[in-house]
């Protein structure tokens, strides 16, 4: 009994330690750590999804309801080795369903004198259009969204760990989209103020670097060599838009 208890306890602790190590490593990059992890992990999620969704009935249903993948994950799937067959099968299923949905709108709805028929037609059309906007989340976004929450949880829970907090302090911090998610998901977390304080310090560093970069645009200082401020403009774009190649489409 004790052995089983220890095994159950060690498994989550091991996963948590692994995620903390991944976070610390991602914080070494000149970009938002969560964006970096998303870029590294999502191709694997997409590849696994393509393999499973073809044979798993529940995943096929989820794929059909979501009308396939979001733009970011769909084009990632196109680049997946041996993904063509799975994509053909899965999107054929989605297309078959959507063809049946559009059929009622291909039949003339009568002339202008049949107002009741026109109203029914417009209601059905509006419902169909809304289904595209209010449908289920992309299956790959949902998978990454679950993982993203776990990384956010580790960042907050393990903040007292020097390796993590010091790596964050030396980093560029998080992008605004990820910082907003972190704050929205864990507004009452005891370590949130400390994380936000460290984030503010990162933003102040970027502000100084931008000022230095802009100063050297002046012809009077154009001969001065660039230092860390050389990529400040790129870091500013990344702060607001997320890292290039990452689309903030995971569930909020």
Query: Which 3 state secondary structure label does DSSP give 203?
Result: helix
Query: What gap in Å lies between CA 82 and CA 80, rounded to an integer?
Result: 6
Report if residue 93 sits inside a domain: yes
Report if residue 151 sits inside a domain: yes
Q: Residue 171: CB partners within 8 Å, gap ≥ 6?
A: 27, 28, 29, 33, 202
What digits encode the pLDDT tens for the residues 65-83? Answer: 888 898 889 999 999 988 8
Query: What gap in Å lies between CA 63 and CA 75, rounded to an integer?
Result: 15
Query: What gap in Å lies between CA 63 and CA 61, rounded to an integer?
Result: 5
Report if residue 246 sits inside a domain: no
Cβ of 218: how many Cβ atoms within 10 Å?
9
Domain containing 225 equals 2-241
At 247, the pLDDT band (50, 70, 90 cuts) reads: low
Report if residue 145 sits inside a domain: yes
Domain total of the chain: 1
Query: What gap in Å lies between CA 119 and CA 121, rounded to an integer?
Result: 5
Q: Which of 31, 76, 3, 22 is nearest to 242 (CA)?
A: 31
Report if residue 212 sits inside a domain: yes
Report if residue 250 sits inside a domain: no
Report if residue 249 sits inside a domain: no
For the full predicted model, state whether its pTM sits above 0.75.
yes
DSSP 14-67: HHHHHHHHHHHHHTTSSS-HHHHHHHHHHHHHHHHHHHHHTT-HHHHHHHHHTT
At 111, the pLDDT band (50, 70, 90 cuts) reads: low
Answer positive or negative: Cα dihedral of 98, 99, 100, 103.
positive
Report if residue 252 sits inside a domain: no
């Amino acid at each position: 009994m004790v052995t089983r208890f220890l095994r159950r306890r060690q498994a989550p602790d091991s996963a948590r330690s692994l995620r903390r190590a991944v976070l610390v490593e991602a914080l070494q990059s000149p970009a938002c750590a969560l964006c970096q992890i998303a870029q590294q992990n999502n191709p694997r999620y997409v590849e696994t999804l393509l393999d499973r969704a073809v044979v798993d009935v529940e995943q096929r249903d989820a794929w059909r309801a979501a009308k396939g993948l979001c733009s970011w994950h769909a084009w990632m799937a196109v680049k997946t080795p041996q993904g063509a067959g799975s994509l053909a099968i899965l999107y054929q299923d989605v297309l078959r369903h959507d063809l049946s949905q559009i059929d009622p709108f291909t039949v003339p709805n009568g002339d202008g004198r049949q107002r009741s028929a026109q109203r029914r037609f417009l209601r059905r059309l509006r419902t169909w259009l809304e289904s595209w906007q209010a449908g289920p989340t992309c299956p790959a976004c949902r998978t990454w969204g679950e993982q993203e929450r776990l990384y956010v949880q580790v960042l907050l829970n393990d903040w007292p760990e020097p390796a993590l907090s010091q790596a964050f302090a030396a980093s560029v911090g998080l992008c605004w989209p990820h910082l907003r998610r972190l704050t929205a998901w864990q507004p009452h977390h005891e370590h949130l103020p400390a994380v936000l304080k460290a984030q503010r310090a990162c933003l102040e560093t970027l502000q100084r670097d931008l000022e230095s970069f802009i100063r050297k645009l002046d012809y009077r200082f154009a001969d001065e060599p660039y230092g860390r401020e050389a990529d400040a403009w790129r870091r500013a774009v990344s702060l607001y838009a997320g890292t290039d190649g990452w689309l903030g489409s995971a569930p909020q």
